[in-house]
Structure 1
Amino acid sequence: MGDVEICTQAFGAATDPPILLVGGAEASMDWWEDGFCARLAAAGRYVVRFDTRDTGRSTTFPVGAPTYSGEDMLTDVVRLPDALGLGPAHLVGISMGGGISQVVAARHPDRVASLTLIATTPATPGGPGRPELPPMSEELARKFAEPQPGPDWSDRESVIAYFLAGEHTFAGSLPVDEQRVRRIAGRAFDRSPVPAAAANHWLLGEGEEPDTTSLGDITAPTLVLHGTEDPLFPYAHGEALAREIPGATLVPLPGMGHQMPPPELWDTVVSALVAHTEAAAG
């Protein structure tokens, strides 16, 4: 698309309603697991996952000096369904991808069939009626205050250990399946020519103007899925999204932290997504 290449993979029949999965910071498409995508496809959805800029097989930029902006990441999500011939898509965004998806839905209502937000927080300024949202947990704040050295991005095991440590840091009370995380992180490393480039995502937003759209501008049917034990965006952040987006529905994910829904929650998440996208299409 334009001056960048975006790597995509689809599951299911192209004639089914399209779902576009929008990942979080540093996350290649691999974190939307094969089994999760296959379950949605088996339920009659055409599921598309993709590598955001600087992850996987998509275009990478100089490490520590990305020449694109958060606005460009947003534009990718707007343009991708058209490039794939999908038309309006059901957007499913997690964390940073949830923030991007909110703005896309607010600015481009004709491009969004429905919106699902997972483990994210309001991406637009709140009005006078928004209560102050709770900060990250004290434990997480302490870890951020004492950052550990980053991984050796050229070493597969070092990068896997980095993502595994992050999973433990952001998890709730559900046990972390270390073999599962190691498998996903290893696959992401193997698919990424420049694994270190993914950290460029943390540099986005510097010097950019804040978005002026409002959650009240979102007209797409919206589902909010939020972990009850999210240490970065406590559950009240999900409640704020559901309160400020007209007609939104909030579904709690018990025991989940700030993370991709683990397989223990797939029954809940897949059922909610299928019902939500079916209702939006009806």
Structure 2
Amino acid sequence: MSNESSHDVNGVTLCAETFGDPADPAILLIHGACASMLWWEEELCRRIAAAGRYVIRYDQRDTGRSTSFPPGAPGYGLRDLAADAVGLLDALGVDRAHVVGRSMSGGVALVLGIDYPQRVRSLTLVSTTTGELPMGGLDVPPDPDPDDPAAVVEYLVAVMRAYAGSSPHFDEDATRAIAAADVARTRDLRAALGNHFAMDFDGPRNGEWSDLRVPTLVVQGELDPVFPSAHGRALRDAVPGSRLVVLPQSGHDMLAPTWDTFVRALAELTA
């Protein structure tokens, strides 16, 4: 069973969806740059919930049905996104959550773990980086015309294909279905395509990776072309006591054949 709802938090409206029993340990899923909650696939959320977890996915600012800001001038930073996450937990009546931050939102998770440790039971850092190593290169098409929804869908499919790297598991039909649903429900495509890259990438106020004191899992795609494998090892080495799980034949995004491995590792961490 899932439930979608909207919540007024920190002067913005956030759209969220939950799966499972609210009495179970909460897992807050935070996706990366420009990605709405739909990119935490519904089937993946249901599998996590079936492991006895209360799963929360949501649209961050400038994605999906949440508040949009003027294109090119978002006026917020990672700290604001972290404060939004805390506000959403308050709205849902969740005292502490296991936080999963993906790609750019590994930075949001870091802020939560350092500046709001009382709200975080554990951190899972998926396809992210310490920021100290060079990124890989991607062959993606030019930005699409935001006024042409069909062009935006094809652009998103191309980006996700590039994120898959050399993985044989990329599912173009499933990706196009998510992209089409995402475009159809997004308030402002122009803002969604660019504002996360234009925001302030401020970090936590009270420390850095080495200051994290919550149980931490690092998840790395074996074939990630954006943050190659050295990024996962560097992140594991930077966070005291963390564990690294490598997803075989997966790229920057977690492809469906790796979900069982991911859910198993997340269930172990959050037991």
Post-superposition CA distance 1:4-47 (Å, at most 9, x none):
01110000001000000001001000000110000111111000
Residues 1:205 and 2:200 are matched in the alignment: yes
> What SS is found at the alignment partner of 1:117?
strand
Aligned to 1:256: 250
Aligned to 1:184: 178
Post-superposition CA distance 1:71-99 (Å, at most 9, x none):
21121122221221111100001001112
Matches within 5 A, 1:204-243: 204-205=199-200, 213-243=207-237
Q: CA deviation at 1:108?
A: 1.7
Unaligned 5+ runs, structure 1:
124-131
Residues 1:66 and 2:74 are matched in the alignment: yes
Alpha-carbon distance between aligned partners in 1 of 2:11 and 2:111, rounded to the nearest angstrom: 22
Q: CA deviation at 1:155?
A: 2.1
Alpha-carbon distance between aligned partners in 1 of 2:224 and 2:246, rounded to the nearest angstrom: 11
Matched pairs, number? 261
Aligned to 1:162: 155
Residues 1:149 and 2:148 are matched in the alignment: no
Q: CA deviation at 1:235?
A: 1.0
* Amino acid in structure 2 at the alignment position of 1:160: V
Checking the alignment, whether the CA contact within 8 Å between 2:114 and 2:204 is kept in structure 1 is no
Matches within 5 A, 1:112-131: 112-122=120-130
Q: CA deviation at 1:211?
A: 6.0
Q: TM (normalized to structure 2)?
A: 0.91
> What SS is found at the alignment partner of 2:270?
helix
Residues 1:136 and 2:135 are matched in the alignment: yes
Alpha-carbon distance between aligned partners in 2 of 1:90 and 1:105, rounded to the nearest angstrom: 10
* Amino acid in structure 1 at the alignment position of 2:135: M
Aligned to 2:57: 49
Select between 37-46 and 58-67 the one with higher mean Cα deviation: 58-67
Checking the alignment, whether the CA contact within 8 Å between 1:90 and 1:115 is kept in structure 2 is yes
Alpha-carbon distance between aligned partners in 1 of 2:205 and 2:251, rounded to the nearest angstrom: 27
Q: Could you say what the CA RMSD is over the residues aligned between the two structures, in angstroms?
A: 1.8
Alpha-carbon distance between aligned partners in 2 of 1:256 and 1:149, rounded to the nearest angstrom: 25
Checking the alignment, whether the CA contact within 8 Å between 1:10 and 1:46 is kept in structure 2 is yes
Residues 1:244 and 2:238 are matched in the alignment: yes
Matches within 5 A, 1:86-97: 86-97=94-105
* Amino acid in structure 2 at the alignment position of 1:68: Y
* Amino acid in structure 2 at the alignment position of 1:270: V
Alpha-carbon distance between aligned partners in 2 of 1:107 and 1:69, rounded to the nearest angstrom: 14
Alpha-carbon distance between aligned partners in 1 of 2:164 and 2:249, rounded to the nearest angstrom: 9
Q: TM (normalized to structure 1)?
A: 0.88
Q: CA deviation at 1:149?
A: 2.9
Checking the alignment, whether the CA contact within 8 Å between 2:110 and 2:204 is kept in structure 1 is no
Residues 1:27 and 2:35 are matched in the alignment: yes
Change (3 A) 1:156 1:88: same
Residues 1:103 and 2:97 are matched in the alignment: no
Greater share of residues in strand: 2
Pick aligned residue for 1:194 from 167, 188, 191: 188
> What SS is found at the alignment partner of 2:34?
coil
Residues 1:3 and 2:11 are matched in the alignment: yes
Unaligned 5+ runs, structure 2:
1-8
Select between 79-88 and 35-44 the one with higher mean Cα deviation: 79-88
Residues 1:17 and 2:25 are matched in the alignment: yes
Q: CA deviation at 1:148?
A: 4.3
Q: CA deviation at 1:222?
A: 0.5
- Identical counterparts, % of pairs: 48
* Amino acid in structure 2 at the alignment position of 1:56: G
Aligned to 2:48: 40
* Amino acid in structure 2 at the alignment position of 1:136: M
Alpha-carbon distance between aligned partners in 2 of 1:209 and 1:96, rounded to the nearest angstrom: 12
Q: Please identify runs of 4+ aligned residues in structure 1 that moved more than 3 A.
A: 208-212
Change (3 A) 1:17 1:47: same
